[in-house]
Amino acid sequence: MTDLLISLYPWTKALHVISVVAWMAGIFYLPRLFVYHAERAGPGPGSEPFDSFVIMEQKLLRLIMNPSMIATWIFGLALVATPGVVSWSFAWPWAKAVSVIAMTVFHMWLARQRRALAGGNGLPGRSYRIANEVPTLLLVVIVVSVIVKF
């Protein structure tokens, strides 16, 4: 198994990066959709554009974000299991791991907010504007951790 992981390393790394890019695209866009939904969607379920926002948010989460998050985790764990890629004696893999777990928790929070908005019970738009900064901060920690390797 070790030899297989080593030989597949370039492919695993490439697929991990592709998955991360897709996940991050969705995780940046969904809170922005929530802002527009909360501020401009109209009276509630059954009205337009309310129903359009519900469909866009649902499809973004289920067709792009969920699969790319799962792929990110699978390829990331495969990289961790590849000999010589991660040394847990440094701080960077711990910082990255905590940040990725936090990003996953944020993803789950977004999924709950999608359901709340679909039922007409979301937060105000300002709350989603503030929440939209969370993935940026986490992304900075993740990228600096992996590139600088402190």
Asked if residue 2 has pLDDT above 90, the reply is: no
Q: What's the mean pLDDT when you consider all of the chain?
A: 95
For residue 15, the tally of other CB atoms under 10 A from its CB is 18
pLDDT score for 1: 81
Asked if residue 106 has pLDDT above 80, the reply is: yes
User: pLDDT, tens digit, for every residue of 23-69?
Assistant: 999 999 999 999 999 998 877 777 888 999 999 999 999 999 999 99
Q: How far lies 59's CA from each of 54, 82, 114, in Å? A: 9, 34, 11
| Total count of domains within the chain | 1
Asked if residue 110 has pLDDT above 80, the reply is: yes
Share of the chain above pLDDT 90, in %: 89
Predicted confidence band of residue 90 (pLDDT cuts 50, 70, 90)? very high
Share of the chain above pLDDT 70, in %: 100
* Cβ contact 29:56 at 8 Å: no
**DSSP string for the chain:** -HHHHHHTHHHHHHHHHHHHHHHHHHHHHHHHHHHHHHHHS-SSTTSTTHHHHHHHHHHIIIIIIHHHHHHHHHHHHHHHHSTTT--TTSSHHHHHHHHHHHHHHHHHHHHHHHHHHHTT----HHHHHHHTTHHHHHHHHHHHHHHH--
User: pLDDT, tens digit, for every residue of 112-150?
Assistant: 999 999 998 889 999 999 999 999 999 999 999 999 998
The residue range of the domain holding 16 is 2-148
Asked if residue 97 has pLDDT above 80, the reply is: yes
pLDDT score for 128: 96
- Rounded to whole angstroms, the Cα distance separating 5 from 126 reads 45
Exposed (0-12), middle (13-18) or buried (19+): which is 89, by Cβ within 10 Å?
exposed
